[in-house]
Amino acid sequence: MAKAKKKTEMVTIMIPHPKESVGDTETTVSVNGKIYQIQYDTPITVPKNVADVINQSMKQRAKIQRAVEAATYKSGKASIAEL
């Protein structure tokens, strides 16, 4: 008896081009041994688990960016080196 394949839920996403990726036009995402090469700023339909990994990565990147900005010297505030 043949097994029925489970239908994979698909979603459409778009990865914005990061400012720090000068010259890059795409990114690579690997999930469960499958590799996806995804162009920046182009809507694409991918399995939901791939979109989940991309969304988590984007959230993490934003969190890191906020931490870097908070730790960066700002005019008028004492920095660790000045203390």
Cα 15 from Cα 27, distance rounded (Å) = 9
Model confidence at 4, in pLDDT bands (50, 70, 90)? Answer: low
Q: What is the pLDDT of residue 75?
A: 63
pLDDT of residue 69: 84
Q: Tell me the domain boundaries of the chain.
A: 10-72
Alpha helices in the chain (DSSP H): 48-71
Please state whether beta strands 44-47 and 34-39 pair in parallel, antiparallel, or not at all (unpaired): unpaired
Residue 1 has pLDDT above 60, yes or no: no
Task: Identify the pLDDT of residue 48.
Answer: 96
pLDDT tens profile 27-81: 999 999 999 999 999 999 999 999 999 999 999 988 998 888 888 766 666 555 5
